[in-house]
């Protein structure tokens, strides 16, 4: 449960660590789903929206990522579609409610390459308002040598960059950050490499610059990430996503709860199918 400390840290830093957010049992269950998922064994029979690394086909040195694993796997769905995730995201952002935008299932095996620094809101021009908040849940003890997540303290107060830099395995994973800081005249900033335990969560603002380096350890770094948006969000009338605008209804800007379910709302609403056995 979040308290005043968490809200203050989030507003000051653009991120906040919440220890022991996921139970040990659910952490272990989620770990067991990674190998089947990246082999293409989808429990629900539905393929994720993005499947950026496939066993036997993709470069083994790359960080592995799936987007919207909740559609393919019930354990991932239990994590990212939880009422607690939705409520905490909404309260941190001072929204009346929140809905899932997308999730990420991320696996950095030993030696896996970086993910480039970016702001999540840069990728959200297909929704209105174009903003989100993220709950990053660690499934392994994670530290700087293990390719942990890195944040630029206070960067949620910077303008949102419209420039897209290399995301998967860039030569310089800080390139986008350096470019943005230079264009804004920001000469000094702090990059924090988090040390967190399995089961800990980190909530970060959609404007916070973040990325992760290579995993230089002998242990995997696995995480499941829930990106949430305001429950009142709608499709943008003209900006389209090549993937997520496929769920736009004809002659409507409404976000369909079948694909973008409401996780929590202060009026008690939560998309009905989320709590079915």
- pLDDT band for 32, please (50, 70, 90 cuts): very high
Evaluate if residue 163 carries a pLDDT over 90.
no
Q: How far apart are CA 83 and CA 91, in angstroms?
A: 12
- Express each pLDDT in 193-249 by its tens digit: 999 999 999 999 999 999 999 999 999 999 999 999 999 999 999 999 999 999 999
| pLDDT at residue 277 is higher than 70 | no
Q: Give per-residue pLDDT as tens, 186-200.
A: 999 999 999 999 999
Rounded to whole angstroms, the Cα distance separating 20 from 201 reads 7
Q: Do 152 and 190 meet the contact criterion of CB atoms below 8 Å apart?
A: yes
Q: What is the pLDDT of residues 93-115, one digit of tens each?
A: 999 999 999 999 999 999 999 99
Q: Can you give the pTM of this predicted structure?
A: 0.96
Average pLDDT over the chain reads: 96
Confidence of residue 171 (pLDDT cuts 50, 70, 90): confident
Taken in order of first residue, the domains within the chain and their CATH numbers are 4-275 (2.60.120.620)
Predicted confidence band of residue 167 (pLDDT cuts 50, 70, 90): confident
pLDDT band for position 276 (cuts 50, 70, 90): confident
Bridge partners of 264?
Answer: 98
Mean pLDDT of 140-150: 95
**253-265: average pLDDT:** 98
């Amino acid at each position: 449960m979040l308290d005043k400390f968490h809200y203050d840290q989030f507003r000051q830093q653009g991120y906040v660590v919440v220890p022991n957010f996921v139970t040990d049992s659910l952490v272990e269950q989620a770990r067991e789903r990674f190998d089947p998922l990246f082999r293409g064994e989808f429990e629900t029979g539905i393929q994720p929206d993005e499947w950026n690394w496939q066993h036997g086909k993709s470069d083994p040195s790359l960080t592995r990522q799936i987007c919207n694993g909740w559609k393919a796997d019930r354990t991932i769905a239990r994590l990212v579609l939880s009422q607690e995730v939705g409520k905490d995201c909404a309260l941190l952002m001072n929204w009346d409610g929140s809905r899932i935008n997308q999730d990420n299932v991320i696996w950095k095996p030993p030696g896996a390459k970086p993910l480039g620094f970016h702001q999540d809101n840069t990728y959200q021009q297909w929704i209105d308002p174009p903003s989100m908040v993220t709950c990053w849940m660690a499934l392994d003890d994670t530290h700087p040598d293990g390719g942990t997540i890195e944040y630029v303290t206070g960067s949620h107060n910077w303008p949102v960059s419209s420039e897209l830099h290399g995301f998967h395995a860039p030569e310089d994973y800080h390139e986008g950050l350096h470019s943005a800081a230079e264009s804004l005249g920001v000469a000094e900033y702090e990059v924090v490499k988090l040390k967190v335990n399995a089961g800990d969560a980190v909530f970060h603002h959609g404007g916070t610059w973040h990325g992760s380096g290579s995993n230089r350890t002998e242990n995997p770094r696995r995480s499941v990430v829930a990106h949430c948006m305001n429950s009142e969000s709608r499709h943008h009338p003209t900006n389209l996503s090549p993937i997520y605008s496929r769920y736009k209804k004809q002659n409507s800007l409404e976000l369909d709860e079948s694909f973008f379910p409401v996780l929590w709302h202060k009026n008690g609403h939560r998309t009905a199918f989320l709590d079915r056995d």
